[in-house]
Amino acid sequence: MTATETAGRGERVADWLDGRVGIHSLGRKYLRKVFPDHWSFLLGEICLYSFVVLVLTGVYLTLFFHPSMNEVTYHGSYVPLNGVRMSEAYASTLHISFDVRGGLLIRQLHHWAALVFVAGMLTHMMRHFFTGSFRKPREVNWLFGWLLLFLGLFEGLFGYSLPDDLLSGTGLRFVNGALLSVPVVGTYLSMFLFGGEFPGHDVVARFYSLHILLIPGIMAALVVAHLILVVYHKHTQFAGPGRTERNVVGTPFMPVYLAKAGGFFFLVFGALTLVAAVATINPVWVYGPFRPDQVSTGAQPDWYLGFAEGLVRVMPGWEITLWGHTLVLGVLIPVVVFPLLLVFIGIYPFLEARVTGDKREHHLLDRPRNRPVRTAIGAVWISLYLILLAGGGNDIVATRMHLSINTVTWTVRVAVFVLPAVVFVVTRRICLGLQLRDTELVLHGRETGVIKRLPHGEYVEVHQPLDQAELHTLTAHRRQGERVEHEPRPELVEREPRP
């Protein structure tokens, strides 16, 4: 077959597809779409690629997992548990770990990918928060990302609970206590979730359906919608020479960005596989099967739900009785505060737009130092999360550091109210200091360390003017005509005589 005949056949296939799905016009429009280059944009790709790894490994695990709480007697490769009564879910988890070829590697890869996925989403979201990319017209896309993070927390909880081991059962006991603290309907919620009195017989099967069908389906739809809006709104970019609100400076999607993205996918996949191969995570055979009369010592949830447990652990055990009913405030208040912390971040773009009155479109990113109040609020949110995470592991902190658990608990209680205020003030002052430093650089240039004597005898340091690219970056927020929060007053900037 000649090259001409081959080309003719390829053209006919392309024409056939183009006439039915418009593939040529779509490709011509979007395959050359420009994407800016910056290391922080890789955070979103890590989220996407770890989600792909989760789907691939999850499909493999569903072939061998039995989501049933029916009791069986274990007879398998793990000798210490032979003859022990356990649920089919726990027995199939042991079978995957010890008898299925590559099963333990896939199980650990799935778990590590889940941790990286949530960590990537949180970091990616904070990058958008601090740079202000959630502003008009991207508020809806911000909500899509926030929903992905919110669903990811519960998706991780459901998957964590499926093996029915003693550690996951202890976590479910925590969930049951949180549900029971809800006034009026708490008992009904618990009975509905567990199919009867805790631990029930249906919770694993119900969590399994949510874990592999409902929530992943919603998350996949949100991911697609998120990417579509990224393409539709065009990618945000940091200020720099040639970059404006009306253009994007970078590399085309095809072939440059696609090649980079493909290579980065295999890099993420390989790194996750390496970690899964050498670092054990969730060794369910060590904990044993779940029994309601036992509790795993040092039980800790995955890191992304540690702050929720911290809320409960540091809250005083307050109770009040009203009309013959007892309200367990020590659990009810944390159950209310937990979603409020997440909801605040979700609705922040709308709060900021309302307070500042900013209704313009924004395609250039902010430098965090130029938005000291927003940056301080984000730092406060992160500090509060880290404080509560430490509170969720107060027993571990106390035993490892040889401290009284009461001392650790009271320290966290005080820090919850004191540290966020300190972080807000310090972060804001740092941002203002960095603004003054940038102003100094723009006005006088960079210090060279060279001392020169002026004709009248004064000694001054010679400053090297910044190049045009640096000047453009440092002054971009002023040329955009935006009001800079707490902009340094000219009289506060010390002016040095020119040599």
Domain boundaries, the chain: 1-30, 38-366, 370-499
User: Residue holding tokens 């060794």?
Assistant: 283
Tell me the per-residue pLDDT of 37-74, one tens digit each, with 9 for 90 and over.
888 888 999 999 999 999 999 999 999 999 999 999 99
- For the ranges 82-91, 129-138, 449-458, the lowest mean pLDDT is seen at 449-458
Contact between residue 390 and residue 156 where contact means Cβ atoms under 8 Å apart = no
Q: What is the pLDDT of residue 36?
A: 85
Instruction: Tell me the average pLDDT of the chain.
Output: 87
Indicate whether 27 pLDDT > 60. yes
Give the tens place of pLDDT for each residue, 149-202: 999 999 999 999 999 998 888 888 888 888 888 888 888 989 888 888 888 888
At 489, the pLDDT band (50, 70, 90 cuts) reads: very low
Confidence of residue 382 (pLDDT cuts 50, 70, 90): very high
pLDDT computed for residue 10 by the predictor? 67
Contacting residues for 112 by C-beta, under 8 A, at least 6 apart = 272, 275, 276, 279, 281
Please state the rounded mean pLDDT for residues 411-433.
Answer: 96
Q: pTM higher than 0.75 for the full model? A: yes
pLDDT at 6: 54
292-319 pLDDT per residue, tens = 877 766 677 888 888 888 899 889 988 8
Mean pLDDT value of segment 375-394: 93
**pLDDT-derived band of residue 235, with 50, 70 and 90 as boundaries?**
confident
111's tokens: 């778990």
Judged against a pLDDT cut of 90, whether residue 255 lies above it is answered with no
Q: Is the pLDDT of residue 350 over 60?
A: yes
**What value does the mean pLDDT take over residues 86-101?**
94
Return the closest-CA partner of residue 362 out of 134, 81, 204, 77. 134
**Reduced to 3 states, what is the DSSP secondary structure of residue 244?**
coil
25 — pLDDT class (breaks 50, 70, 90): low
The Cα–Cα gap between 407 and 411 comes to: 6
For the record, the structure tokens of 433 come out as 């200091």
Higher pLDDT pick, 392 / 221:
221
Is residue 275 packed enough to be buried (19+ CB in 10 Å), middle (13-18) or exposed (0-12)? middle
SS3 at position 101: coil
Which candidate, 165, 49, 166, 50, places its Cα nearest to that of 97? 165
Fold entry, domain 38-366: Cytochrome Bc1 Complex; Chain C (1.20.810)
The tens digit of pLDDT for each residue in 272-298 reads: 999 999 999 999 999 889 888 777 666
| β-sheet bridge partners, residue 327 | 320
pLDDT at 449 over 90: no
Q: Rounded to 5 degrees, what angle do the CA atoms 204, 312, 190 make? A: 35
